[in-house]
Chains A and B, each alone.
Chain A
Amino acid sequence: MYRYSEFDRDFLAERNRQFRAQVERRIAGSLTEDEFKPLRLMNGLYLQLHAYMLRVAIPYGTLNGAQMRQLAYLAETWDKGYGHFTTRQNIQYNWPRLRDVPDMLDALAEVELHAIQTSGNTIRNVTADHFAGASADEVADPRPVAELLRQWSTDHPEFQFMPRKFKIAITGAPNDRAVTAAHDIGLRIVERDGAIGYQVLVGGGLGRTPMIGKVLAEFIPADDLLPYLEATVALWNVIGRRDNKYKARIKILVHEFGLENLKAEVEKEFALRKPLYAGGKDVALLDEIKTHFAAPEFETAPTDAYDVFYATDPVFRSWADTNLSEHRAEGYAIVTISLKKQGDTPGDATADQMRVMADLAERYGHDELRISHEQNVILPHVHKRHLPQIHAELRAAGLATANIGLISDIIACPGMDYCALATARSIPVAQEIATRFEELKLEHEVGPLKIKISGCINACGHHHVGHIGILGLDRAGVENYQITLGGDGTEDAVIGTRTGPGFAYDEIVGAIETIVRTYLGLRESAEETFLQAYRRVGIDPFKAALYPETKTRAA
């Protein structure tokens, strides 16, 4: 993985020194909150409902064991013993005190982590496929480019005061696990005549006005990527709307200005910027970065230990069936560790659990961990012969839940349990849905099903692209939950369709059960997934089940 250069280290130390001084001046009263707020947001420090919150970037979701241990140390020393992994491949600490934050940032810097540009109208933490460098279906590892983009965008002088935040996601595989179509810019590594390049999507995003990204360029050669992106962001920075914060995203520019016009203008801007990159420094830098991401030396060994356990231990088999994915190396597997134990808070891990995961990565996983946007942790490179041992240790730590991709593997934003912008709670809804289906013993019968929950229209929980999406709203002072169906966050991205009027807090779990039972009743076979069945029959049977009284009235 990427190791900081001296420049990186000095830059971060200087930023942390500056922020420490800013915190001191705020506490001493020489900075007002209006002056301090943009400074703290630039360093990832929010104020939520009950406390401050520090958001730490996990660049392209990659961590090593030492970094994970340090995250545990922060959780224990300055928080309440846990951290919350988010859909943006960040970790959030929900309880820091203002005075402690500079120490937390210094502790993060010791392991080359930071909270810069995890907030504010800047280019945010670049997210990537959490199976990067490991999955069997990959064209190329997207992380070197993600790291290049991080270096390019961090403190980029032109891009510090943009109309709004800007989010970039990248995947190197045709199976899009990074939801690239829901980002301001989505990059997909593609191969053409033996050469690597990028398909560039623009104008995706969820929130108030959900939109699926459109193709801005089918193929940008590798050497042109940075000037091309710079041209795109620069153009939006200049002509994008600033009059209305909800219209200040690039998706609105695409919508109002037109994709073809945007393409033409980007090409013009690109022609101006390309010569500035003539020295090829970016290309040389990318080549240097690539050396940091060389694949580990995969071992060849028999997998008998795995095969025996798989054949004889049903608990292990069930976990292996849901939580393992195909690795590109023979005898290896990708392990997804579920942070979605039924009844627990999606995405939360205790300090002890973080250390268990760090330990497993160091002993059996080439010292690599990933955080997925689905709020789980991944051991990307594990030889199968270690899996029984890993499973046993995960089990002892409460981390062996076998539910990846199933109904209890829910994405939920913090909602009104933490977030100051929330209009309703999301965490307890997730907890109760997971618990209900656990009790009904239906989870495995239902099969692949993605539920995603947001506690307000900002859509941090990606509800628009959930097979079942839930949006919590405040309807006349009461929590109310709207349901969308048929959303999809993969390469075939689709925004879900609303079923109709929302449901009260104590009705929403029942409504989800109704939807799931309707699916079970109409699917053609156990192989037909929820999404496939939905695409075949449409929304009407689900509406009829959810709103029987409307049907009677219409009849």
Chain B
Amino acid sequence: MPRDFTPKVITANHLLEGDVVYLTADDRWTRYHAEAELITDEAHAAIRLLDAERQVDTIVGAYLADAKDGLTGPEPTHFREVFRTRGPSNYAHGKQVEL
């Protein structure tokens, strides 16, 4: 049986900086997970991923990541995606200090 579709955001790395970015509903790339478009429909997700993948001169390696609705916007559900919103745990580097 196919698994139920869980909500997703589209994420990638920025081409020049290499840092983590998310696709917004109005087609911008944001550094904030909470500003990402939360996609709840599987067919729409596939279309949005194609949209993202076409932007080869801005981003690298777009993919769909599980997310859920939160207080201020979408929140990551898997620990890997939580780390990607923050940066490494051994130094105060990356998004945890830059945003």
Instruction: Give me the interface of A with B, judged by CB distance under 8 Å.
Output: 26-29, 32-33, 47-52, 80, 94-99, 345, 416-418, 422, 425, 427-428, 431, 474, 477-479
Tell me the nearest residue of chain A to B58, going by C-beta: A29
Enumerate chain A residues within 8 angstroms of B78, measured Cβ to Cβ: 477
Q: Mark B74-97, 1 if CB is under 8 A from A, else 0.
A: 000111100110011111011100
Tell me the nearest residue of chain B to A430, going by C-beta: B90
Interface residues on B, range: 20 to 34
Could you tell me if A47 and B89 are in contact, using CB atoms closer than 8 angstroms?
no
Interface SS majority for chain B: loop
Enumerate chain B residues within 8 angstroms of A416, measured Cβ to Cβ: 79-80, 83
A32 CA to B62 CA, complexed, in Å: 13
Could you tell me if B79 and A98 are in contact, using CB atoms closer than 8 angstroms?
no
- 11 more A-B contacts (CB under 8 A) besides A26-B15, A428-B89? A27-B15, A27-B16, A49-B20, A50-B84, A50-B87, A50-B93, A50-B95, A51-B17, A94-B88, A418-B88, A477-B78
Could you tell me if B94 and A50 are in contact, using CB atoms closer than 8 angstroms?
yes
Enumerate chain B residues within 8 angstroms of A478, measured Cβ to Cβ: 79
For residues 37 through 60 of chain B, which have their beta carbon under 8 Å from a beta carbon of chain A? 56-57, 60
CB-CB under 8 A for A50 and B61, given A98-B15, A417-B83: no
For residues 1 through 22 of chain B, which have their beta carbon under 8 Å from a beta carbon of chain A? 13, 15-20
Looking at the complex, which one of B19, B83, B90 makes contact with A51 (CB distance below 8 Å)?
B19
Tell me the nearest residue of chain A to B83, going by C-beta: A416
Enumerate chain B residues within 8 angstroms of A52, measured Cβ to Cβ: 18
A427 CA to B80 CA, complexed, in Å: 15
Could you tell me if B88 and A417 are in contact, using CB atoms closer than 8 angstroms?
yes
Looking at the complex, which one of A98, A428, A477 makes contact with B90 (CB distance below 8 Å)?
A428
Enumerate chain A residues within 8 angstroms of B79, measured Cβ to Cβ: 416, 474, 477-479
Could you tell me if A431 and B20 are in contact, using CB atoms closer than 8 angstroms?
no
Tell me the nearest residue of chain A to B87, going by C-beta: A50
Minimum C-beta distance from B13 to chain A (A): 6
Tell me the nearest residue of chain B to A45, going by C-beta: B18
A428 CA to B88 CA, complexed, in Å: 10
A428 CA to B80 CA, complexed, in Å: 15
Minimum C-beta distance from A75 to chain B (A): 13
Could you tell me if A417 and B90 are in contact, using CB atoms closer than 8 angstroms?
yes
| Interchain residue pairs with CB less than 8 A apart (25) | A26-B15, A27-B16, A28-B57, A50-B88, A50-B93, A50-B94, A51-B18, A80-B93, A97-B16, A98-B17, A98-B18, A99-B16, A345-B90, A345-B91, A416-B80, A416-B83, A425-B89, A427-B88, A427-B89, A427-B90, A428-B90, A474-B79, A477-B78, A478-B79, A479-B79
Tell me the nearest residue of chain A to B77, going by C-beta: A477
Minimum C-beta distance from B49 to chain A (A): 15
Could you tell me if B91 and A80 are in contact, using CB atoms closer than 8 angstroms?
yes
Looking at the complex, which one of B13, B57, B83, B84 makes contact with A47 (CB distance below 8 Å)?
B13
CB-CB under 8 A for A431 and B56, given A49-B84, A98-B15: no
